[in-house]
Amino acid sequence: MTTLGFGRDRFERSLRQVRPRLLTVGMQLLANGYDAEDAVQDTALKLWGVRQRIADEAHFVRLAQSVLRHVCLNMLRQRALHATATLAEDAEPLAFETPHTLLVERERAQCVQRAWSELPQHYRLLLQMREVDRLSTPEIAALLCTSEANVRQRLSRARKAMLAQIGRQAGAQ
């Protein structure tokens, strides 16, 4: 009969064993060593909070991987929010700027930003992972625990929804 719960020593030992794998997964999902380290640390803190409910080593590993995936998703969502906030600021200046071209570019950036903000969150997240974070289809599939074909289909739908939103925004002006 297995007793539930991990004491401090058992928790630290299990975390040391699974940490390299968590860092690898974090790097694959976030493409940034510092962010991956932060995600693993957040994962460890969350696991520490539920350590008394962990049944065994296998449960610890599965839970650690699941928590890490969710932490990474949350970090990617935060990146998407930040990318949305700076979308208009990041527009490249035109080679020949006149008041008219500046106004057109500002309106275009605002139109795209409004369309982005009106997309469902799951579409924004997919587009952010693909277009902003430059994750590959296999990386997105691993992060979302789905097939590559499903990711391609969802990305296609997200792009169509974004174009439709832009069309509605442009038609409303």
94 with 125, same domain: the answer is: yes
pLDDT on residue 1 = 44
Q: Which residue range forms the structural domain that includes residue 153?
A: 86-172
**For residues 144 and 119, what is the distance between their CA atoms, to the nearest angstrom?**
19
pLDDT on residue 59 = 92
73 with 98, same domain: the answer is: no
67 with 98, same domain: the answer is: no
Q: Specify if 2 maps to a domain.
A: no
Mean pLDDT in order along the chain per 10 residues (173 residues): 75 93 88 88 90 90 92 82 59 63 78 84 85 83 85 90 81 66
73 with 93, same domain: the answer is: no
41 with 118, same domain: the answer is: no
Q: Which two tokens stand for residue 145?
A: 């625990």
Q: Specify if 148 maps to a domain.
A: yes
Nearest Cα to Cα of residue 59 among 101, 11, 112: 11
pLDDT on residue 136 = 86
pLDDT on residue 93 = 54
The label of the residue with tokens 């902003």 reads 132
